[in-house]
Amino acid sequence: MNLFDVYPINPINIVKGAGSLIYDDKGTEYLDLYGGHAVISIGHTHPHYVERLENQLHQIGFYSNSIEIPLQQQLADKLGKLSGKTDYQLFLCNSGAEANENALKLASFHNGKKKVIAFRKAFHGRTSLAVSVTDNPKIVAPVNETDNVIFLPWCDKAALEQAFATNEVSSVIIEGIQGVGGIQVATESFLRKIRTLCDQYNAVFIADSVQCGYGRTGKFFSHDFAGVDADIYSMAKGMGNGFPIGGIIISPKIKPAYGMLGTTFGGNHLACAAGLAVLEVMDNDNLMQNAEEVGNYLIEELKKFEQVKEVRGRGLMIGIEMPDELGHVRMELLKQHHIFTGEAKPNVIRLLPALNLTRAHADRFLEAFAHVLQSSRQPIAV
């Protein structure tokens, strides 16, 4: 049997990892500033994480949501403590798309309305409603097409006001920092405007925090920079450091009812153990502070390279916009210097490393980046 060929892949077989370093089957060491797409939040094979998962496996790995699973409440308590959203309610699932799917559905159950506002270049996942609010026609199948979604220009307040005026809007979904869209930071005043209009029109503010959340920017949710609360935050990626777990936290004003949401795998014992291990390490090792400090350092240093078009982002979610003629830099970093980074089309290098990235590893990247830029300089024609 062949694999269903949907991914362009690098011919590299990673077999081992520790912290921000990973190793292929030939023993070559790589610096991981991609984190397997913003997933590795506390570093590969963190000892506390390995121990907690191993212990849990020896107890029980899975049972369904038909019984009490106290680990879920422990996870909710810890999440409340670290995020500050202590009065929110947690629903657990398995991925980012599923988290957004549940958020959008819950919003519509809550206010009985159908229209969703999403934004140009947004990415919210590949399941039916999540892909409908994703601004990429190539990945929307005919069966997912709907006229319930209104796409608006990024951070355009007048367009937002106009879309709300119909009073049919059920929810607004927005990434605090667009990831796939090229590391575009939502303005704080725009996020506040969403809050005001959602209150005015009884609509639900959904903060997609799948990539930009979970401490990556130095605050637990990147939307927190605006100083207002969303009604639902969706989470996944960094939540399990590689173990598939996602979730939404829901404002107390949205009331639950049996049957509204449900899942077989979501919130199982092993997933909760992984989620707890991540939050314990984040808390004990002050990882949000580290993300802010090392992230700010990287951003400031990157801004000094005159060949770079723009540096965007917050904390350890960084986009380096390269000019067209330097579109090869990302591949050179991998080939020459064995550094994994992410990309956003056409020419943005995305840095999404573990939140405990050290200053020394940040410097190793900066030196390699300088070297690639230096060797890319064209001799001046005379």
- Pick one of 79, 97, 140, 191: the residue that binds ligand PLP (CB under 6 A): 97
How many residues in total does the chain contain?
A: 382
Task: Write each residue from 199 to 218 as x if it is in contact with ligand PLP (CB under 6 A), else as -, in one continuous string.
Answer: ---------x-xx-------
DSSP 44: B
E strand intervals along 190-314: 204-208, 232-235, 246-250, 310-314
**Phi, psi dihedral angles at 336 (to 5 degrees):** -80, -40
Answer yes or no whether residue 40 interacts with ligand PLP by CB under 6 A.
Answer: no
Shorter beta-carbon distance to ligand PLP: residue 19 or 179: 179
Distance CA 67, CA 77 (A): 19
Answer yes or no whether residue 108 interacts with ligand PLP by CB under 6 A.
Answer: no
Q: How far is the CB of 316 from ligand PLP (least distance, A)?
A: 15
| Residue 364, token pair as written in the block | 């190793």
Q: How far is the CB of 117 from ligand PLP (least distance, A)?
A: 16
Answer yes or no whether residue 41 interacts with ligand PLP by CB under 6 A.
Answer: no
Distance CA 158, CA 374 (A): 44
Only segment of 84-92, 163-171, 172-180, 328-336 that touches ligand PLP (CB under 6 A): 172-180
Place of tokens 């121990």: 51
Shorter beta-carbon distance to ligand PLP: residue 45 or 127: 127
Answer yes or no whether residue 184 interacts with ligand PLP by CB under 6 A.
Answer: no
| Residue 199, token pair as written in the block | 């209150």
Answer yes or no whether residue 123 interacts with ligand PLP by CB under 6 A.
Answer: yes
Shorter beta-carbon distance to ligand PLP: residue 83 or 95: 95
Only segment of 91-99, 111-119, 158-166, 265-273 that touches ligand PLP (CB under 6 A): 91-99
The answer for 52, left when phi > 0, alpha when psi is -120 to 50, beta otherwise, is: alpha
Answer yes or no whether residue 247 interacts with ligand PLP by CB under 6 A.
Answer: no
The set of residues, in sequence order, having a beta carbon less than 8 Å from that of 350 and lying 6+ positions away, is 34, 179, 183, 318, 319, 320, 341, 342, 343, 344
Residues paired with residue 172 on neighbouring β-strands, in sequence order:
117, 205
Answer yes or no whether residue 266 interacts with ligand PLP by CB under 6 A.
Answer: no
- Pick one of 17, 125, 240, 315: the residue that binds ligand PLP (CB under 6 A): 125
Distance CA 94, CA 206 (A): 18
Answer yes or no whether residue 236 interacts with ligand PLP by CB under 6 A.
Answer: yes
Distance CA 343, CA 354 (A): 16
Residues in contact with ligand PLP by the rule CB under 6 A: 95-97, 100, 123-125, 175, 179-180, 208, 210-211, 236
